[in-house]
Amino acid sequence: MNFIIPFLVLITIIVFIHEYGHYYFAKKYGVGITDFSIGFGKEIFGWNDRSGTRWKICWLPLGGYVKFFGDRNVFSETEQQEVINRYSDIDKKKLFILKPLYQRSLIVLAGPMANFILAIIIFFLINIFVGKDMTPAIINEVQENSPAFVSGLKNNDKIISIDNKKVESILEVSTFINASTSSEIEFLVIRDDRQVSIIVKPKLIDGEDSLGNSVKKKIVGIKLSPPSNNEIQKQPLSFSKAIYYSFKEVWFVTSTSLKFIGKMLTGSGDTSQLGGPIKIAKITGQVAQYGVVPFLSIMAYISISLGFINLLPIPMLDGGHLMFYLFEKVLGRPLRQKTQEGFFRIGLFLLFSLMFFVTFNDLKDLGLF
């Protein structure tokens, strides 16, 4: 229960925000909405609002959906006309398929964007009220014969960037090292009042994260510590800086995820680190034990991941719909039925394969394989 309850709270909020993004723009452009569901399957409870939308909570809490009035796939202008002829003039105004292409695109795009906005708001509040660590990353030990030792890193080197990412906190060093998708990492350090660039080839080892979970870690062989009293220096930020660092964090997570996808497609990515609902639930429960701020942080990171995944150009995801709209814009008409059905089969295969793979990883992480 320590894992399940925090996970249900987290996933409910993230899914609600995502679906509300779709809902808000659909209402803005006059699209009729019949259902707003958190979860799939049989309804647990729900209610109807004044406009006739059924708001409901369902048994399988691994997603959600907003169902539009007259919602269905329209493959061709002929079929579209057949659908349109079934409705009265009043109902036609509520049909999603009759809205301009830019409005349909914004409605679809609004879900993932809402997830990014949620993450920005969470990071902003943490930066304003809790603060951000600004402890300089100064090396106080280089392990003998380690990758860092061989490459020439030295004690008292101040790390200012890793792979062209500015290091502003001692806590960012490990993050940037393990987020690197390259076999070699460039460290830019200040030594004797001058900048020195050093290339380090890290070792990949089996280790544990701060929560005790098994992970693959990149090790370079350096130790860092705060310059005084061995304490991290968290500083509440001004409004403008809090906004800046919130956007910066969202961009870092998104760009790192994009690079990871690219490495997987080329066969060089570490797919053992991919996790599904079981792993997310486990980590959420572990983080929740440390308090509200860590819980909000993990919520922000998972919200970014949900927004990013939904933008991938895979049919059945929001990105897949946007891909179809792009084809419609270029061709001047929707794709034909057989073409869209082919895309949907590919998308379904990819999603089921991914679900199987991450579930296998989850069960392996629990020691069941």
Please report how many Cα atoms fall inside a 13 Å half-sphere around the Cα of residue 176, on the Cβ side.
22
Domains in the chain with CATH codes: 4-129+303-365 (no CATH), 133-235 (2.30.42.10)
Integer Rg of the chain from CA? 24
Q: What is the pLDDT of residues 244-291, one digit of tens each?
A: 999 999 999 999 888 888 877 776 666 666 667 677 777 788 888 889
- Give the Cα-Cα-Cα angle 289, 175, 180 (nearest 5 degrees): 140
* pLDDT in the model for residue 69: 86
- Work out the pLDDT band at 30, boundaries 50, 70, 90: very high
Confidence category of residue 235, pLDDT binned at 50, 70, 90: confident
The position carrying tokens 């909020």 is: 13
- Residue 272's pLDDT is what? 63
pLDDT at 2 over 80: no
Calpha distance 369→364 (Å, rounded): 5
* pLDDT score for 352: 80
Q: Among 42-56, 79-93, 189-203, 320-334, name the one with the lowest average pLDDT.
A: 79-93
Give pLDDT, residue 263: 77
Three-state DSSP class for residue 8: helix
Going by pLDDT thresholds of 50, 70 and 90, the confidence category of residue 361 is low
Query: pLDDT (tens digit, 9 = 90+) per residue, 212-231?
Result: 666 778 889 999 877 656 56
Whole-number Å distance between alpha carbons of 17 and 2: 24
pLDDT: is 64 or 90 the higher one?
Answer: 64
Residue 363: per-residue pLDDT: 63
What digits encode the pLDDT tens for the residues 184-215?
Answer: 999 999 999 999 999 999 998 877 666 666 67
- Rounded mean pLDDT, 289-303: 92
Structure letter (DSSP) for residue 336: P
Strand partners, 217: 205
pLDDT at position 80, please? 67
Q: Catalytic residue positions?
A: 19
